[in-house]
Amino acid sequence: MLKAPKIDGDPVPMPNFLRLVFLLLFCCAALAIAQDQNSSSSKSSEDRLAKQQRNTEAAKKAEVEGEDYLFQKRDINRAIDSFKKSVKLDPWYEHGYIMLGLAYMQTEHWDQAQWAFEDAAKVDPDDPQAWLGVGSALNEQKDYVGAQKAIQHSLELKPDSAEAHYELARSLWGMNRLEPAEEHARRATELNKDYASPHVLMGNIYLSEVNAESALAEFRESLRLEPEGPQAETVKATIAKIEKAMADAAPKKKQ
């Protein structure tokens, strides 16, 4: 295995699942209508009063309007306003909280995204998507221990989620637990062979281990999968640095 000197500069920034993958998944199902959610564990008079004040149909209409602003009109502020309206009309409408969290992720308001996903998880504690959203938002806030806990719960509910394995790998990498981080990133690529982001993460892991050949292989694979992706230029620049470092470290031929 060829090793090269440590590459100067920061690792390639890791894309957030909700910004780069979760967004596309929702875009494909932008007009899907979520089923009404009921919290069987809520017994207080306040909860019963709130349920009596539900307006689910209006909440769905506001949420669909928000999706139109988010995906079609690209008006994030009006999208957020619509999603807020949705959950105000029906505090048990989980999909409204999910979309509100997604919108906040787009604006990089990580704490507000976290709260929205937590509210979704309160409505339906068995929704792996809600827990994954919580973990992803916590990853962005560098609360890797909290993120790991939320994402592991998501994986308990949906073990074959490539996105959850990738987000867990991000948490573990943030805690410098490189071996299990690599395992989960690798599992993400096995579950979704077109998923470029885990290859970038593995490239970063190999860079931190000063394993130039493996890092190059992972970065090149990420470019093969997403040649025009949001990380493409940064990955190309990192590949160039690695190749230069390897060339500088190679034995010089005698003249």
Q: What is the pLDDT along the chain (255 residues), one digit of tens a residue?
A: 334 444 555 677 766 544 444 443 443 343 343 344 444 444 454 555 455 568 999 999 999 999 999 999 999 999 999 999 999 999 999 999 999 999 999 999 999 999 999 999 999 999 999 999 999 999 999 999 999 999 999 999 999 999 999 999 999 999 999 999 999 999 999 999 999 999 999 999 999 999 999 999 999 999 999 999 999 999 999 999 999 998 988 887 665
Q: Does domain 47-158 have CATH number 3.30.390.10?
A: no
Is residue 9 a contact partner of residue 232, using CB atoms and an 8 Å limit? Answer: no
Determine if the pTM surpasses 0.95: no
Residue range(s) of every CATH 1.25.40.10 domain in the chain: 1-11+160-249, 47-158
61-84 residues labelled b (16+ CB within 10 A) or e (exposed): ebbbbbbbbbbeeeeeebbbbbbb
What the block records as the tokens of 206 is: 């190999």
Is residue 127 a contact partner of residue 157, using CB atoms and an 8 Å limit? Answer: yes
CATH of domain 1-11+160-249: 1.25.40.10
